[in-house]
Structure 1
């Protein structure tokens, strides 16, 4: 994918639209260990990075910096938001849920995109939660601080493995079909911040919601699952971007009883062509626009995305377009790792299987 999508899906992380990477298959192993029960704030806690290298957290962090809105939202939900002293790629207007928006807006922005190295190292943080890992286009790898520089600044460096590990040799190659890696990340941050009990509550809520959908769809055979295409309207219309098997959205779609038509591409995202989309001829198309900050503006964005597909010669004959099979669901909850992935599972399932799943029930 890389160069073009920096201007589309990957850059959209800045506005809390997408996560530019993911693990694969059934999820990455978290490798969290502690000296006491995981429901307490017990230390030391040891967590592994994408290469399996351990970091030991000896006490609860008090000054946390996040690389983007994905890890920020997780910390807000865990009740550790008052310890976040800065973030990069801040949440876009309207992208955080209402109950978190006010607190999220108070977090200082250290970088509209990736945080400059000098600012990160001089932030006074004792913990940096990294969504991107070694992705150069997101400020990782050679452009980010080295392990030695983090150590010299007194900053411990941990990762969201569900999003940071897609390009590493240890990344699973099979399509992701569950949210285990996302749930593991929530547990990781809970263990690291001493909010493990809250993390288990969040994961339990996700699993309950997903379990209800799974039970409702148990009778739907694999070959009867409708084909599903995520249309990232905000990435541009000249060349569509395929959401591939390693992306968290593939798990969301699979759990919702649909079939990602680009699940077979061994990546997180990949540049495609309209010829590819036409060849797949999806049964449903998700209009994955980003939250515009108001209900009216977001609705207009959905309308514009739908109007494009209906008017564009290459797509107006697609089955989904002809039948009006559109799913109006934002990018944020579909392609970025977080608790709301479970909400997306239910919403998609309720749309494509309305006789079996009811939204909000």
Structure 2
């Protein structure tokens, strides 16, 4: 059974409300305000539904949204897997061609791109969406988030605002993320909002099965003997490395894979550190983490450039992982952003660090 992350007042759990007829509360309930009720008609099963975000705002849906904008490829993939991809009218940070498997890739490539990175405020507010799924919000390592709309502006445009909370709200969490329960709750939340709760349950069970298999395989390794692991965020810059801290989803991925995040004692999501700090940790393994460039060739070049930097830099070339060539080429997004692929990343890291145990478990 998977454990549940604790977020205290920053409540992230999905609440499905059976609201009595005539008790007020229209299609939008956020901060105590309400919009006029939509046209009357039979309510779909599971509705109305209310979700609470990390800032305590409650948003109520009387029926599934019909026009959705996603902030990035991870949120888009979730909706595609939930069977709600036909509702998506635009995305930011689109997935590169071939990034997603099979038919998901074909579907994703048809979604209009509203921004190669963050969607411009004016474009988002004028998109015609009735729901925006926000992956970033308070996430500290995405650079400038631009002039994001306020909740009042979202409301004025008729757009409801829902977070992928395990990523967007991570800095506000009360404690470290050590498992993927928060990610699974994100999927369940989207399932409730889009009326695809059954499919969300199936996705969560699949993820849980993969991660549980890894934990059974490596669970007997004493913590002090777990390989130490450094997430090298190449795109954050090479002059000053960025530590992946314990409130970040990536910490949960690394922990579940049977590794010790060398910056797991850092309280937060990301924090600038020095190369002296990294060298002092002398990790056993290094993940060459690069953000999706849009093609396999471009990604492979970025991975190679990151490896070359570590091998040629006077400060890092003597580290154990560098000398032994213990590098993993795994994209940043599937490690640090909530998504179905987090479970696959757990498997990939575990297979590299504990090959005998993982192979035996299979």
Which category describes the TM-score, using the shorter chain as reference length?
0.7 to 0.9
Structure 2: unaligned runs, 5 residues or longer: 19-43
- Preserved contact between residue 129 and residue 158 of structure 1 (Cα < 8 Å): yes
- What is the CA–CA distance in structure 1 between the aligned matches of 2:245 and 2:138, rounded to whole Å? 20
Does 1:80 find its partner at 2:84? yes
Find the counterpart in structure 2 of residue 198 from structure 1.
199
Equivalent position of 1:137 in the other structure: 144
CA distance in 1, matches of 2:234, 2:12: 33
Alignment of 1:256-267 (within 5 A): 256-267=257-268
The change in CA–CA distance for 1:109 and 1:55 in structure 2 (over 3 A counts) is same
Distance in 2 between residues matched to 1:241 and 1:295, nearest whole Å: 24
What is the deviation of 1:219?
A: 1.1
CA contact (8 A) 1:226 1:284 kept: yes
- Counting only pairs closer than 5 Å after superposition, residues 254-333 of structure 1 correspond to structure 2 as 254-333=255-334
> Is 2:43 the partner of 1:45?
no
Q: Is the CA contact (8 Å cut-off) linking 1:127 and 1:157 kept in structure 2?
A: yes
Query: Is it true that 1:26 corresponds to 2:33 in the alignment?
Result: no
Query: Does the 8 Å CA contact 1:27/1:178 hold for their aligned counterparts?
Result: no
Inter-CA distance 81–27: structure 2 relative to 1 (3 Å threshold)? farther
Give the distance between the partners of 1:164 and 1:279, measured in 2 at CA: 30
Shift of 1:300: 3.6
Kept in 2, the 8 Å contact 1:283–1:320? The answer is yes
Q: How much has 1:87 moved relative to structure 2?
A: 1.6
CA contact (8 A) 2:245 2:265 kept: yes
Partners of 1:298 and 1:112 lie apart in 2 by 16
Deviation at 1:306, TM superposition (A): 2.1
Pairwise CA distance, 1:192? 0.1
- The count of corresponding residues between Structure 1 and Structure 2 is 328
CA contact (8 A) 2:96 2:295 kept: no
Larger radius of gyration: 2
- Pairing 1:155–2:156 present: no
Output the CA distance in 1 between the equivalents of 2:273 and 2:183. Answer: 26
Distance 1:241 1:358 in 2: 33
Rounded to whole Å, the distance in 1 between the matches of 2:110 and 2:248 is 30
Gaps of 5+ in 1: 1-24
The TM-score normalised by the length of structure 2 is 0.84
Equivalent in the alignment of 1:101: 105
Distance 2:132 2:292 in 1: 27
Comparing 339-348 and 156-165, the one that deviates more: 156-165
1:113-158 Cα deviation digits (max 9, x unpaired): 332333222222111111123569324xxx3333333223222211
Q: Relative contact order (alpha carbons < 8 A, sep ≥ 6): 1 or 2 greater?
A: 1
1:180 aligns with 2:159: no
The alpha-carbon distance between structure 1 residues 167 and 255, as it changes in their structure 2 partners (threshold 3 A), is: closer
Q: Which moved more, 1:257-266 or 1:116-125?
A: 116-125
TM-score after normalising by structure 1 = 0.84
Q: Which residue of 2 aligns with 1:220?
A: 221
- Which whole-Å CA distance do the structure 2 matches of 1:256 and 1:296 have between them? 27
The 10-residue stretch of structure 1 (323-332 or 90-99) with the greater mean CA deviation from structure 2: 90-99
Per the alignment, do residues 70 and 355 of structure 1 end up closer, same or farther by CA in structure 2, a change over 3 Å counting?
same
Residue 331 to residue 144, structure 1, CA distance change in 2 (3 Å): closer
CA contact (8 A) 1:213 1:256 kept: yes
Alignment of 1:228-247 (within 5 A): 228-247=229-248
Q: Distance in 2 between matches of 1:188 and 1:334?
A: 20
